[in-house]
Structures are given as C-alpha cells and as structure tokens.
Amino acid sequence: MVEITLVRHGQANAGAADETGYDRLSDLGRQQALWLGEHLRDTGQRFDHLICGTLNRQRDTATAIAGCLGSEFHQDARLNELDYYGLATSLRDSHAVPMPLNRDDFLHHMPQLMTAWEAGRLHSDLESFAAFEGRVRAIIAHAEKLGGRVMLVTSGGLIGMAMRVLLRLEVASYANILLQINNTSVHRYVKGGNSLLLDTFNALPHLERADRAFARTHI
C-alpha cells in the first residue's frame, strides 16, 4: 500500500518582501498547524514516514503535527519551495511586470510568472523550471519507494508541481492551482496499479467548523 499526503505549511509572514522575512509562521500559522495535528490524532490517522523541507515554516509545521501524533520527522531539502521572490524580482526587472500587492494582483501575476519561468526567460542564476520539476519528481519517487503512508510537509509551489507531474497538467493549469492552495491544506494520492491517483485536493478538515472559518488562508 502506498499513500502520499502532502501538507502545505501554516500561514507565514505574508507582509514580507523577501524569502528570509517570509520564512516564519505567523501566530495563526502555528495555530493552523496545531489544529491539523490534533485533527489527525483525534481521527486516528497515523503515518509510517513524516518528512518536511528544511525551511523554517515547513519544519515548524511538521513539528506541531509530529508532536500531536507522537512521531518523529525527517528533513529533505527537495521539499523546499521554489524561489518565488527571486522569480518575481526577475520578472519585474526583465519584463517590467510589477510585484503583486494583493490577491487580485496574484491572479494576473502567477500565470505570467510561471509562463516566463517555464520558457527560460528569467535570470539564469535562479533554479530552472526543469530543475524544480526534477526534484519534485525525485521526492515523489522517494516517497513512493518508502511505501506505506507517507506525509510530506512542504509548500504550495511544490504541491502544485506534484499535481502537474502526476496529472500531466499544462503550465497555465499549474499556475491556477497555485492560487487556490490553502495554508495547512491536505492533498493525498494513493497508488492504483502503476499510478499515483489523486484522492484529496486542498482539504481543510481541521478548519471546517464555523468558528474557524477565519483561519482559512491562502497567503
């Protein structure tokens, strides 16, 4: 049996202007992660392997979940997020596309960014689209080889790329997916024959209560 569950980290510092400033959970982000861990514990869900990226927001989210489940976790840099700030800065400097200031801006910005990145029209010192896709394929293959129930605590860009890879999506569809991935959302694939089949997308079972509706965040 193979079941791979991807979880996005809790809300980070959305007001940041660079990756370093962004890479810490907000108070709400910590609460989201704790609520998810408690939900998994209370519904009897267990994982044979729990792996997170090496970014602070990913590690701190995994720490909260693992603490509730009484389990250990390991870190793997292949789960780290794409360099959004570097890519967006390059798009601004090279193609005069301004940085987004709100969600409406993101709706127009993300497709432009992903299209330019995939076409190789951004700074050459940044991780290429192909390289990012390659490491996402590699971590999925690693999780599949581990077998059993595997949780990967990561970021929205990687979760979207995993969907692109496994469902063979075009870049435009990938960009649209990125705009919808919630903080601490759950995405699950199960092995069927020789394929990993999408079972759950963007689930928020720990935030379905009316008094937690405020905690459903994208950024």
Averaged pLDDT, 139-153: 98
How confident is the model over 177-206, as a mean pLDDT?
96
Region 85-113: what's the mean pLDDT? 92
User: What is the average pLDDT across 116-126?
Assistant: 95
Q: How far apart are CA 25 and CA 210, in angstroms?
A: 23
Mean pLDDT across the stretch 6-15?
92
For 192-204, the DSSP string reads ETTEEEEEEEEE-
Buried b / exposed e along 9-34 (16+ C-beta atoms within 10 A): bbbbeeeeeeeeebbebbebbbbbbb
Question: Please, what are the domains in the chain?
Answer: 6-43+52-79+127-214 (3.40.50.1240), 83-126 (no CATH)
Contact 155, 53 (CB under 8 A): yes
Any idea what the Cα angle at residue 77 is, between residues 72 and 82, rounded to 5°?
130
Q: Which residue has the higher pLDDT, 184 or 13?
A: 184
Number of Cα atoms under 13 Å in the Cβ half of residue 80: 14
pTM: 0.95
